[in-house]
Every structure is written in C-alpha cells, then in structure tokens.
Amino acid sequence: MRVGAGHRPLLSCRRAVLALTAVTLGMTVAVAQTTARKPDYVFNDSHFHLTNYVQKGTDIHRYLEIMGDKVGRSTLFGIPLQQEWSYANSGDFAPTYYLQSDAPLYYYSFTDAYIARAYQSLTKAQKARLDPMITGFNPADMYAVDHIRRVLELFPGVFSGIGEFSIHKEFVSAKIAGETASLTNPALDRILDFAAEVGLAVILHNDIDMPFAKAGTEPVYLKQLKDVLRRHPNTTIIWAHIGLGRIVSPTQGQASEHTAERSPAYQAIVEEMLQDPSLRHVYFDISWDEVAKWAIASPEIERRVADVFNRYPDRFLFGTDNVAPADQAAQLRVYHLWDPIWAQLTPEASVKIRKANYERIFDGARRKVRAWEKANVKPM
C-alpha cells in the first residue's frame, strides 16, 4: 500500500525515535561495560610481599583473585633474605620467620627470578595491575648495582623499581650474615644513583632510631638518612613505614622538659621533612600493622595523623606490607585498621593516599624503566 505524503513526517519521526533509542541503549551498554571493566577499587597496595622468609607464598594467580575488586594495583616483591634452618639451633623445627630462630639470615638473589617468572605467566591485563620490584641484592655490596642491571637485562619489561630493601631494621640487621648494611656505605649511593639513571622507584626500609633508644635523644639514624636522601634528589624514594617498627616507636625520641638532650617530637620530624624542598622526591609509606598501631593509639593521635595527611596528601602512600596472604580478608585487614583516620580525611586526600599517588609514581617508573631498557638492553 502506498503511504500518503501526510504520513511521511510521522514515519520519519518514529524512525528517529527508534534510532535515538538504539543509540541510547548502546551508550548505556557501553557505560555498563566500562564500569564492569573498571571497578571502584578501595586502594592500591604500595608494599606487598608475595613470598616469605623461606621463599614460600601465595600463587600469583591466587593473589590476583584475592585482589579482586578491592585492590586495584599492587607492588610485587619477595623477601631478599632467607632464614637459615640450623639444626643445631632449632632441631626439627623449621623456622619460617626471622623471630623464630637465632640462626642467621642471608641474601637470596633467586627471589628476583622467581618473581619475574611468576609475573611473566600472567595475561597482559593481569600484568597491568602489578608492579614487580627487584629486591635480591646486598646493599652493603658494591656489586649490588651489577645485580640490578643484570636482572633488568634478563627480564626486560617486568620491573618498575627496587625494594623493599633494608639498611637498619630492628632485630633483622644483626642477624644478616656478612657485613652490616649502613647509610654511610658508598654501595648504597651507587644503588640510588643507578635507580635515578634507570627511573626505578625505590622502597627503602630504614628505622628512624635504634630499638630502646634513650628518651629525648635525637633519633640515631635521622641525620644519616636525610644526608643520603639529599644526595639523591633525582631518585624517587619511598621511605618504608616512615621509619617505625615493633619497638621503634614515634614516642621514644620525644624529649621531656627536664631532658638535656632535646629532640623534636616524631610528628615534628616528619613535618620538617615534608616541608624541606631538598626532600621533595621522598614519599612516606604507611604500610604494616605495626605502623597502624601507633597511628590509632588514641583519638588525639588519630586527629593529628589525619591533620598531617590532609595537609600533605601528595606525599603519603598506603600499603599493607602483607606477606603471602591466604584470602581477601587477610589482605584487607591492615587497610581497615586505618578506618578511624580514613573517616577524617578530605575526599581529595583520601583518594591520593589510597590510590592516586601510587598510580602517579609507578606509572612514571614504568615509562622511564621501559625507555631505559629500550635504549640499553640488547634483544636476547
């Protein structure tokens, strides 16, 4: 039947409506798919150990399942130290942690190959969520740089940084076989210089003070640490745990009005470092449940910590310091210890500390390291 001329506008209108509806439905589906692809992750983990002190841990595919829709991205490293099983010391008991034996620790360089191969087993999309780090070197060894370079040459396209590696660490430093690492050792300067050359992000563990330090004294490692940091202004350095530990507390360095050897309170030390333009390349890692316990010790301390975070949100990164978690609940436990402080942060500060600072630092590291590899690593 021939459609009359008077019906054509109505027909055209219907077609237009149908076309618009189809476009709208397509956009809705596209938005839904995009949302499904990019969940609103809770945090990025700036400090994560896939394996423990005897090089055992969580399968990397299982770890991605544990991350799920809660952890967007994560660093990935083992532990550079192996706990020796000395039969003379612990008999049939096989220690898996450095506090379970008096036997020494030793550097275990194979950890980097293990992490690299695990990472290489993933799909492209899975790899995008992880930033492997080189850890299997002795920071007291002038050849440490050669190890780092060799790892980059053998596994191009894998690593984003170095660390966590330790210089002074409560209970650990004294157990390591061989020369004790030091902030004054030029081997450390060589490592940090090379990290700057390549663009590797650095996660450095160094306690701010010795265990059981005399109250009111200057934290013993503070000056040496700041000197090292200032000597390497072109290196992106993340100070692990802001120098705290189980017994290296933020209160032991505070002076009383009757103490001759006066020292600023811990918060004042951190704020001074935050304000120092010669340390603008230094970031502060708030990982580890042992750090959280100091931050949530009282409502007043929680308010002070939140105030610092709100005033310097670009300089802090959240991480768990988890070691081989069994499930997602274990992975999220440290995050939720900070809930009283998250609740007091501005939206901007919260997003930066939980996610955005990680992305800025490690996206930059990835670009720089891949460019260095392209220029310096010959195809095998």
pLDDT tens across 95-119, in order?
988 888 999 999 999 999 999 999 9
What CA–CA distance (Å, rounded) separates 56 from 323?
10
pLDDT band at 68 (very low <50, low <70, confident <90, very high): very high
Backbone angles phi, psi at 204, to 5 degrees: -110, 125
92: tokens are 């049939």
What CA–CA distance (Å, rounded) separates 321 from 334?
8
Q: Residues 173, 204, 347, CA angle at the centre, nearest 5°?
A: 135
In the DSSP assignment, the letter for residue 211 is T
Contacts of 199 (CB under 8 A, 6+ apart): 364, 365, 367, 368, 369, 371, 372
Q: Confirm if 256 and 216 have CB atoms less than 8 A apart.
A: yes
How much is the pLDDT for 174?
Answer: 87
131: tokens are 């930033």
Q: Confirm if 320 and 331 have CB atoms less than 8 A apart.
A: yes
How much is the pLDDT for 215?
Answer: 72
Instruction: Answer whether the bond into residue 261 is a cis peptide, omega within 30°.
Output: no
Is the model's pLDDT at 147 over the cut of 80?
A: yes
Is the model's pLDDT at 25 over the cut of 70?
A: no
Backbone angles phi, psi at 164, to 5 degrees: -70, 130
> Hunting for tokens 């550097």 — which residue is that?
107
How much is the pLDDT for 15?
Answer: 58
Is the model's pLDDT at 268 over the cut of 60?
A: yes
How much is the pLDDT for 252?
Answer: 55
Across the range 257-271, mean pLDDT stands at: 64
Q: Residues 231, 236, 239, CA angle at the centre, nearest 5°?
A: 85
Across the range 143-171, mean pLDDT stands at: 97
Backbone angles phi, psi at 323, to 5 degrees: -120, 110
Q: Confirm if 355 and 41 have CB atoms less than 8 A apart.
A: yes
11: tokens are 């027909």
pLDDT band at 210 (very low <50, low <70, confident <90, very high): confident
How much is the pLDDT for 39?
Answer: 82
Residue 315, SS3 per DSSP: helix
What CA–CA distance (Å, rounded) separates 342 from 352?
12
- Where is pLDDT greater, at 98 or 253? 98
Contacts of 268 (CB under 8 A, 6+ apart): none
Average pLDDT value over all residues in the chain: 89
Distances (CA, A) of 10 to 1, 2, 303, 328, 363: 16, 15, 66, 58, 54
